[in-house]
Amino acid sequence: MNPTISEHRKWTVEPFTDSDLMSATALWNSCCGPGKLVYQPLSPEMFRTLLVDPIPGVSKINRVVRDGQRLIGYAGGTYRNQGEQGYVTIVLVDESYRRQGVGATLLRRLESDLRHLAGDRLNRFEIMFFNPVALNWIVPGTLGHDHPNSPGVDVACDGYLFLKNQGYRDIVYQNSYYQSLDHYQYPAEIQTRLQRLAGQGIHITIFDPAVHDGMEALLDDLGSDDWRQIVMANIAPDGPRHPVIIVEHDNKVCGFTGPISVQPSGRGYFAGIGIHSGYRGRGAGKVLFSALCLNLKAIGASFMTLFTGETNPARNIYEAAGFKIVRTWADMKKEVKSNEP
């Protein structure tokens, strides 16, 4: 028998303890799956590592709701030490207790805890998503094809409207793209572009430090420290040496993508894609991305996933390669006064 409104006084919000690990993991897994949340099911060890164990420079908060001895709700959040924002990671409620105030009670407690960590030094405090905890999710309709991060709140889940009703507002939308690589080949448009570029002396190939120069100049032009660190580590003589695919013109590097490798799930990994500002507008980015797909397929990748902003022009590159949007996420936030009760 489901609890009634008159039974709500039995609910208690308490700190998460080690004894809650099995029940909280079971609640997580009961909320995930086809037609539910798209997040990856977890083992108790994975739950602890992901949601409970500390991260340097980040405080984690975990709360549970009980009805007597039964764990009926769980919420987790994080706060970057000395930061100006708190982050809600997840709010879960047992299906038989939903729409009865459990989730709202949990969320208010989590918000209060996050504000407390920030102290009184801030007049206003933001609580939002897209936080330090990376939640793996499964592409619906696939056999375990995953993506290693969920960039916000799935707009297709019940939690999205729940958060709106709790005062959270959309900041920006992110689209997740997916493509099976089992039968991938160059689309006809990409083949035409490839031939056109070759007529200009521009080619797609694997970076060879003995042949090609200008990689550092390209990375200077692109201005991403993350890309610089990853790419330069891979092309160093003592680096991991995962291949980096480039656009080259007279042996000068004028675009890159990679470094390419295959993750255990079969997902093709790459850090990014960029074209030198002097070579943009020629369609090289679209050709380079399709070449990335073919090269990942060649080294054993069975699929690719990625995400980008709803208004990011880079989506034209992915869509030209045949990628489809499989999920839309909302980055959301709520501004609260630090001294609210």
Which fold is adopted by the domain 188-301?
A: Aminopeptidase (3.40.630)
pLDDT of 82 higher than 90: no
pLDDT of 5 higher than 50: no
What is the C-alpha to C-alpha distance for residues 57 and 54, in angstroms, rounded to an integer? 9
Q: What's the pLDDT score for residue 339?
A: 54
What is the C-alpha to C-alpha distance for residues 168 and 162, in angstroms, rounded to an integer? 9
Q: Where are the alpha helices (DSSP H) in the chain?
A: 21-31, 44-47, 102-118, 158-165, 188-199, 215-222, 225-235, 284-298, 315-320
What is the C-alpha to C-alpha distance for residues 241 and 218, in angstroms, rounded to an integer? 19
pLDDT band at 338 (very low <50, low <70, confident <90, very high): low
DSSP assignment of 49-117 equals IIIIS-BTTEEEEEEEEEETTEEEEEEEEEEETT-SEEEEEEEEE-GGGTTTTHHHHHHHHHHHHHHHH
Give the residue range(s) of CATH 3.40.630.30 domains in the chain: 5-173+330-337, 188-301
pTM for the full predicted model: 0.88
* Residue 205 three-state SS: strand
**AA identity, residue 133:** V
Helix axes 225-235, 215-222, angle to 10 degrees: 160
pLDDT of 317 higher than 60: yes
* Residue 37 three-state SS: strand
pLDDT tens digit string along 265-285?
999 999 999 999 999 999 999
pLDDT of 260 higher than 60: yes
pLDDT tens digit string along 159-217?
999 999 999 999 999 999 999 999 999 999 999 999 999 999 999 999 999 999 999 99
pLDDT of 303 higher than 60: yes
What is the C-alpha to C-alpha distance for residues 231 and 242, in angstroms, rounded to an integer? 9
Kindly state the average pLDDT of the residues 317-340: 87
Kind and range of the H or E run holding 157: none
Q: Please determine, looking at this structure, whether the domain spanning 5-173+330-337 carries the CATH number 3.40.50.970.
A: no
Q: What's the pLDDT score for residue 31?
A: 97
**Mean pLDDT of the residues in the chain:** 92
**AA identity, residue 54:** P
Residue 130's nearest CA partner among 161, 167, 162, 172 is 172
Residues with Cβ within 8 Å of residue 173, at least 6 apart in sequence: 152, 155, 309, 310, 328, 329, 330, 331
